Structure 1
Amino acid sequence: MDRHDGPTIERRLGGALEPVIGQVYFSPECHAAYAELGFSPSQHEADGVALPDGPAYFTSRGSVMGQVSGHVVASAFAVFNPEAVVPSVTYGWQLTDAATICDARDRGAIGQLERILGNEPEGRDRVAELLVRATDGLKVEGRPLAAGVSGLPDPDHPLGVIWRRGDLLREYRGDNHTAAWIGADLDATEIGILTELYWGLPARSYSRTRAWSDEQFDAAEERLRSRGLLTAASTFTDAGRELREQIEVTTDAMMRPVLDRLGDDVEELVDLLTPWGAAVREAKGYLSSGPHDLADRASARH
């Protein structure tokens, strides 16, 4: 598929997987499990979807890499301001340890999937088979979050393999994306600004959730203008738009090992996951429009 004809199969796979796996960050079961460990419960929502407590989010997701410092978590997550991440993780390790919160994360993620989809959603065994094929022996060099997930056993639950291997695949793509924008000589604030433009979002809306200040965004915009990537009005130049699209193209290319494993069956996997994701969204287990949806729309425009 030509990239100008719409989302590539790599992006469609990421989009189909996202609500099924990314629901871990909005799962009431997860929020309750973290609150039992001493974190604050979910205190905000967006269109009926429960949003995570910050320290619980950073600590739980980071726990797949072990009991690492907040600096390591900030580096792996890449787009968040370390000034927010480091104290959150330091606080988190005062409440719990990596193994305990990682187990709570697993139980909460699987719990929400079980509540919404049941233990035997249509195509369960085939999805598990394809996700195992996609991830078994997948090389994770330079991919810290994917490496962390790959070192964890599959949970002993009817949906356990799907949860674990799906999380690995999601983090693998995320790590690849980080490598792509780092390779384009961008930093966290710069990629945030370019991504909002690429997705068609208001400036400093989505990227604001990453805890950067206006002063830091101002400086990032000036750097992007000096590289010829933004206009004086902070809109894309042709070079800026092309660079941002190239980051997606590079990310797609780095998904080649997964696509090679799946072969023609990748379309079947997308088709099986898509109604699951729709059910998760309908049950308010994931946002009605997430990053992959916005990226797909951008692909269609470009």
Structure 2
Amino acid sequence: MTTPPARALGAALEPITGQVYFSPEAHALYAGLGFRPSPGAMGEPPVALPDGPAYFTSRGSVLGQVPGELVAAAFGVFNPEVVVPAVDRGWSLTDAATICAARTEGAVGQLRRVLGDAPDGLARADELLARAVAPLRPEGRALFSGLLSLDVPDDPLAAMWRRGDLLREFRGDSHIAAWISAGLDATEIGLLTELYWGLPMRTYIRTRAWTDDQLDAAEARLVDRGLVADGALTDAGRTLREDVEARTDAQLQPAIDALGGDLDELLGLLRPWGAALRAAGAYPADGPHDLAASASG
């Protein structure tokens, strides 16, 4: 089965845009604002993990200096009982504009360290990403809209990263809309997604800070709906979960249409950069978009 174009684009972009959350340059800048340094690393090569309050505050900063309840709602999949105090902690240390600037600087710093000032094809990749972003609508997409409120940086590498981040958050916002419209909540989509990716239940979702009681209740609801049985997806569960992904892909269709026959060229530019970032320990070997792409491809 061929990976849908929107999913292929998401997978190619993910290590380039998502590397900000594992960037030592970003972690050092956040520590300079009073956050804790990276709590450790995972994988091989080692990938530096983010401090929780720094993560929630930096990514949420594109919304402005908003309460943790709004950050939790926009991110969608994290336990608000953890997000709210983390954001409160963040705003006790810094303001949205300051940490937003640090986030951009940290992201571009890691890209520059690994890829250089001007990786081959940078101008063309930025041109194509700008074309993909141009037709996307902001309605109902909080993080995408927050990024739209920021100026595109003058630095070519930073501009490319910003446009990629716009596409990443647009897909994330669209994904939330898709699973909400399927009648799922954050714990339920998390458990279904693990099985859809081929992971054991209650592995990846642990990073979202839900309690055992909350996950027990969610699993019971999925069993009652006939979506999960004996710790595995039923046919109905797999169909529903794939439909969520397909509905997410469909919301990216304006970007895919805008790229037209140049999508393969863009993928050809992005994929070597992503491979270099993974090899340098800038992004985990298998991220969410990789798992999503493999689930259908």
Q: Shorter-chain-normalised TM-score: which range?
A: over 0.9
- Given residue 246 of structure 1, which amino acid in structure 2 is its aligned partner? D
Q: Give the equivalent residue in structure 2 for 1:241.
A: 238
- The answer to whether structure 1 residue 46 and structure 2 residue 42 are counterparts is yes
CA positional deviation for 1:161:
1.2
- The answer to whether structure 1 residue 275 and structure 2 residue 272 are counterparts is yes
Q: Give the equivalent residue in structure 2 for 1:254.
A: 251
Give, in whole Å, the separation in 2 of the partners of 1:42 and 1:187.
Answer: 30
- Aligned counterparts, 1:80-229, within 5 A: 80-229=78-227
- The answer to whether structure 1 residue 35 and structure 2 residue 31 are counterparts is yes
Give, in whole Å, the separation in 1 of the partners of 2:34 and 2:41.
Answer: 20
Count of residues paired in the alignment: 295
- Aligned counterparts, 1:63-82, within 5 A: 63-82=61-80
Give, in whole Å, the separation in 2 of the partners of 1:28 and 1:146.
Answer: 25
- The answer to whether structure 1 residue 297 and structure 2 residue 286 are counterparts is no
TM superposition score normalised by structure 2: 0.98
CA positional deviation for 1:212:
0.3
Give, in whole Å, the separation in 2 of the partners of 1:201 and 1:44.
Answer: 23
User: How high is the sequence identity, in percent, across the aligned residues?
Assistant: 63
- Given residue 12 of structure 1, which amino acid in structure 2 is its aligned partner? A
Q: Give the equivalent residue in structure 1 for 2:281.
A: 284
Give, in whole Å, the separation in 2 of the partners of 1:238 and 1:37.
Answer: 49
TM superposition score normalised by structure 1: 0.96
- Given residue 234 of structure 2, which amino acid in structure 1 is its aligned partner? T
Contact 1:63 1:99 in 2 (8 A): yes
- The answer to whether structure 1 residue 26 and structure 2 residue 9 are counterparts is no
CA positional deviation for 1:137:
4.9
Contact 1:135 1:168 in 2 (8 A): yes
Give, in whole Å, the separation in 1 of the partners of 2:59 and 2:207.
Answer: 16
Q: Give the equivalent residue in structure 1 for 2:13.
A: 17
- Given residue 248 of structure 1, which amino acid in structure 2 is its aligned partner? E
Runs of 4+ residues deviating >2 angstroms: none
